[in-house]
Amino acid sequence: MEEKVYIYGDEFGTSSMNLQAQNEVSHFVYSAIVVSESNLNKAYEVRDYISKNFFQGQKIRSKSRAVKKIDKRLKALQYLSNNLDFKIYTVVVDKSKIDSAGLQIKEVFYKYFQKIFASNIISDYQNFEIYVDELISEEYKQEMYSYLNKNLSIQSLFSNYKMVDDKNEVLVQLADLVAGSLGRVFAHSHYVKEASDIVDVLIGKMTPPEYFPYRYQVPTTSKSTNSSSILVTRFVINDVILYINQNSKLDPKVDLLKFLYFCFRINPNQFVDVHSIQGSLSRLHKNITVEQIRTLIRDLRYDGILVVTAAGRSGYKLAKDENDISAYFNHYLNYVKPMLRKMEVASNKLKKLDVDNHLMDSQKFLLLKQLINVSEKF
């Protein structure tokens, strides 16, 4: 029987669409941590340690002045990551892209994105309890229960989904810390230059984030940015989004691509180590191996997705510019050229035989002969 898991969720940001208001958050970020029943006592111990050592024994809140300094926030996250086995699920909502009138209403906004969050997370588990930070009012809580029960068609959800005060269910506070930290990664309005450091600490626990709406916008660039590089980025990312939308959510290639896309959004220049990829995907696809990941990347390349590697560097990333495209082709030339050279040497040997013309002129070896002729130009 599958081990029971406990899911704790909290949000960063608000439902407000008045993005011009001072201090308004550009993105709504909802994060949940998933802890197996066997690790539950450890989770409470870790929470208490973080509260005592980073929050003066008070409630853990991401917006607390106790972790206003980024180095202290990173240390708290590092302790959490190092000392507890858990998973992170995240939904990122770009509020500037929402044009539905219904979602302008606070109650509708929270219901809709709770549905997305819950449907994403519970599809991976059979035996679970969900605890989320309560919102608005007791009346709204009952409305939320009814809405999710109706729209998710899961009989046990009502008894397994609870909106709680995080003073009473303190592990929700860990979700608050994670959501607020990732808000500093995804929300343009609250982005910090140490965003990549936050991701580095949490990436081994994260499943690929879900974005709403799932579309890509090329970041604002400086005047010195090469226009052809912008075109490459648009082309590659449009391909990625199209692939994700057109293929099954159960396909591990889709999850791999979501993860590479997530890393690209944070730092488009960084190559992601295959073991980091394995750490993320293993939370969705148990026992996935490094070799299986390399096979998935090979298959994505056969499907036309430009996943690049670079000579002398480990890891993978999506192509960003002409240099990445050049690296993509050079990677294969490093294999092809030695092979062609070997064939050229063998062909020169065969020229000394009387059978050479007959052999190399046959239809069977026509392509081989053309390749050898090409290799002589290198």
The pLDDT tens digits of the residues spanning 51-106 come to 999 998 999 999 888 888 999 999 999 999 999 999 999 888 887 777 776 677 77
**Checking DSSP bridges between strand 161-164 and strand 5-12, what pairing results, if any?**
unpaired
**pTM of the prediction?**
0.72
Q: Which residues contact 214 (CB under 8 A, 6 or more apart)?
A: 241, 244, 245
Across 17-24, average pLDDT: 64
DSSP state letter for 127 = S
Q: What band does 50 get if pLDDT is binned at 50, 70 and 90?
A: very high
Q: What band does 209 get if pLDDT is binned at 50, 70 and 90?
A: confident
Residue 231 has pLDDT above 50, yes or no: yes
CATH architecture observed for domain 227-320: Orthogonal Bundle (1.10)
- Alpha-carbon distance 185 to 125, whole Å? 27
Looking at residue 161, its pLDDT comes to 77
Q: Which residues contact 208 (CB under 8 A, 6 or more apart)?
A: 255, 258, 259, 261, 262, 280, 284
The pLDDT tens digits of the residues spanning 271-307 come to 888 888 887 787 778 788 999 999 999 999 999 999 9
Q: What band does 108 get if pLDDT is binned at 50, 70 and 90?
A: confident
Please report which helix (H) or strand (E) contains residue 27, including its range. Answer: strand 27-36
CATH superfamily of the 5-212 domain: Ribonuclease H-like superfamily/Ribonuclease H (3.30.420.10)
The pLDDT tens digits of the residues spanning 146-192 come to 777 666 665 555 567 777 888 888 999 999 999 999 988 888 778 88
Q: What band does 49 get if pLDDT is binned at 50, 70 and 90?
A: very high
Token pair for 280: 């993320």
Residue 217 has pLDDT above 60, yes or no: no
174 close to 33: Cβ distance less than 8 angstroms: yes
Window from 110-119, 138-147, 197-206, 307-316 with minimum mean pLDDT = 138-147
Looking at residue 273, its pLDDT comes to 84
Q: Bigger pLDDT: 5 or 330? A: 5
Radius of gyration (C-alpha) of the chain in whole angstroms? 26
The pLDDT tens digits of the residues spanning 21-34 come to 656 777 888 899 99
Please, where in the chain does CATH 3.30.420.10 lie? 5-212
Please, where in the chain does CATH 1.10.10 lie? 227-320
Give the residue from 176, 119, 166 showing the smallest Cα distance to 147.
119
Looking at residue 222, its pLDDT comes to 46
Q: Quote the percentage of the chain above a pLDDT of 70.
A: 81
Looking at residue 139, its pLDDT comes to 67
Residue 219 has pLDDT above 50, yes or no: no
